[in-house]
């Protein structure tokens, strides 16, 4: 990792360092942070001769050789000062809440519009809505590209940014073109490294954020952070880590709730942690307690399924979605706890 003395290298300086690393079979990938751009050396960066030549350049402050599989996402990385802003909110400065239906019903768009209005009213800062759905049962509704227009119409009506899951490369382009602010990587695809790379390539140079769910089958937290590194390595570090429960489920719950990994994540990475209690416990009645537990563990945000009329929803909504009232109560309590944890006076 090359850290320049100024905010970024000039084109001539970039050309010079690119030329040096090329002699050693490496390339340079600029990573644009909020405060300054840093330059990842991609390839085998262990050659002392290469490092010495780079360190000798008068515009280079230092070469960081963090021995970590996730050198950009690592808390010791220069990106630790990077702040992610979504829709005017800086993650970490207030509890960031994403809420909305699991699945947009293209036949009944009003359910989505009314849910989106309720999500805004409850005080969430981003609306979620599934356009394309990863379903365990191949005969279940798989989503519909037409729902993308409904999602963006919900964004237009509320003025809030929107998040949706992309499952294949074709979805990425469609979602970005339509104006989706946050691409979601689902629990089934969090270990799909070619999709992670495709997302990284597509969001590089954009303000787009990525909500990376923890895979149902992920083990150590390093595996989760390394998946985020796949995306960041292409140049956009706006990644939110989303624990959402793992398999096998705790008896009675849909998954094994994993909000308790939040402090571990926060010790190892600077990335904000946005917990999804809805998929974790899988039942609306248990979601508020799990949401509060996540905040108590230090989460920076929550991703909550919510629907104006859960029993009329599709996908996970009949079981998991909070009603508008449940959502408002949960957000209010979660914000109060968040302020208590930060020692911020209520108000």
Give the DSSP letter string of 68-122: STTTTTBTTSGGGG---EETTEEBTTB-EEEEE-SB--TT-HHHHHHHHHHHHHH
Stretch that binds ligand PEP, among 73-81, 92-100, 182-190, 262-270 (CB under 6 A): 182-190
Binding mask 282-321 for Mn ion (x = CB under 5 A): ----------------------------------x-----
Each as own residue / partner, the long-range contacts of residues 139-142 (CB below 8 Å, 24 or more positions apart, any chain) are 140/315, 141/103, 141/314, 141/315
Query: In what side-by-side order are the strands of the sheet with 37-42?
Result: 27-32, 37-42, 2-4, 60-63
Beta carbon of residue 183, minimum distance to Mn ion (angstroms, whole number): 16
The residues in 91-120 that bind ligand PEP, with binding defined as CB under 6 A, are 102
Place of tokens 């959402």: 244
Residue labelled with tokens 């307690």: 289
Q: Widest CA span of the chain, in angstroms? A: 66
Q: Is 322 in the site for ligand PEP (CB under 6 A)?
A: no
Shortest gap between Cβ of 252 and Mn ion (angstroms)? 19
Pick 129 or 235: Cβ nearer ligand PEP: 129
Q: Which of 82, 213, 266, 307 binds ligand PEP (CB under 6 A)?
A: 213
Q: Which residue is nearest to Mn ion (CB)?
A: 102
- Cβ 285 to Mn ion shortest distance, Å: 16
- Selection from ligand PEP, Mn ion, none that 161 binds (CB < 5 to 8 A by kind) is none
Q: Which residue in 36, 171, 244, 266 binds ligand PEP (CB under 6 A)?
A: 244
Containing 288, the helix (H) or strand (E) segment is helix 287-296
Binding mask 90-109 for Mn ion (x = CB under 5 A): ------------x-------
Q: Are 331 and 97 in contact (CB under 8 A)?
A: yes
State the Cα torsion 76-82-83-86 to the nearest 10°: -120
Among 19, 134, 173, 220, the residue binding ligand PEP under the rule CB under 6 A is 134
Distance of alpha carbon 207 from alpha carbon 163, whole angstroms: 13
> What minimum distance in Å lies between the beta carbon of 3 and ligand PEP?
35
- By the 8 A CB rule, do 243 and 281 touch? no
Least distance (Å) between residue 130 CB and Mn ion: 6
Residue 187 sits in the site that holds ligand PEP (CB under 6 A): yes
Q: What is the closest distance, in whole angstroms, from the C-beta atom of residue 103 to ligand PEP in the complex? A: 7
- Compute the least distance from the CB of residue 131 to Mn ion, in Å: 12
Dihedral pair phi/psi, residue 238, rounded to 5° = -80, 70
In the chain, which ranges are E strands? Answer: 2-4, 27-32, 37-42, 60-63, 85-86, 89-90, 96-100, 126-128, 162-165, 182-185, 209-213, 239-242, 274-275, 301-305
Binding of residue 74 to Mn ion (CB under 5 A) = no
213's contact among Mn ion, ligand PEP, none, with CB below 5 to 8 A by partner kind, is ligand PEP
Which residues form the interface with Mn ion (CB under 5 A)?
102, 316
Which residues form the interface with ligand PEP (CB under 6 A)?
102, 130, 134, 165, 186-188, 213, 244, 279, 316
């Amino acid at each position: 990792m090359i850290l320049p003395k100024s905010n970024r290298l000039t084109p001539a300086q970039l050309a010079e360092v690119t030329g040096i690393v090329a002699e050693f079979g490496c390339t340079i990938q600029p990573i644009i942070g909020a405060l300054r751009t840093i330059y990842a050396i991609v390839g085998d960066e262990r050659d002392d001769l290469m490092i010495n030549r780079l360190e000798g350049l008068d515009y280079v402050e230092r070469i960081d050789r963090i021995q970590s599989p996730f050198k950009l996402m690592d808390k010791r990385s220069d990106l630790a000062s990077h702040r992610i802003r979504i829709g005017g909110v800086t993650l970490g400065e207030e509890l960031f809440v994403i809420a909305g239906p699991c699945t947009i019903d293209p036949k009944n768009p009003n359910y989505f519009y009314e849910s989106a209005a309720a999500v805004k009213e409850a005080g969430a800062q981003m609306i979620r809505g599934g356009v394309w759905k990863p379903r365990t049962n191949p005969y279940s509704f798989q989503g519909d590209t037409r729902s993308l227009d409904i999602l963006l119409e919900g964004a237009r009506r509320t003025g809030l940014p929107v998040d949706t899951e992309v499952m294949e490369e074709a979805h990425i382009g469609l979602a970005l073109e339509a104006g989706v602010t946050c691409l979601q990587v689902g629990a089934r695809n969090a270990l799909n490294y070619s999709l992670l790379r495709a997302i990284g390539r597509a969001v590089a140079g954009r303000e787009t954020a990525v909500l990376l769910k923890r895979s149902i089958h992920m083990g150590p937290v390093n595996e989760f952070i390394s998946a985020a590194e796949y995306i960041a390595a292409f140049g956009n570090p706006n990644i939110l880590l989303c624990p959402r429960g793992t398999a096998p489920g705790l008896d009675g719950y849909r998954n094994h709730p994993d909000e308790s990994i939040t402090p571990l994540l926060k010790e190892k990475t600077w990335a904000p942690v946005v917990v999804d209690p809805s998929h974790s416990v899988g039942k609306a009645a248990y979601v508020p307690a799990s949401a509060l537990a996540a905040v108590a563990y230090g989460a920076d945000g929550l991703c909550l399924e919510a629907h104006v009329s859960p029993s009329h929803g599709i996908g996970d909504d009949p079981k998991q979605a909070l009603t508008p009232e449940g959502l408002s109560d949960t957000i209010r309590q979660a914000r109060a706890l968040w302020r208590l944890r930060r020692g911020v006076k209520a108000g």
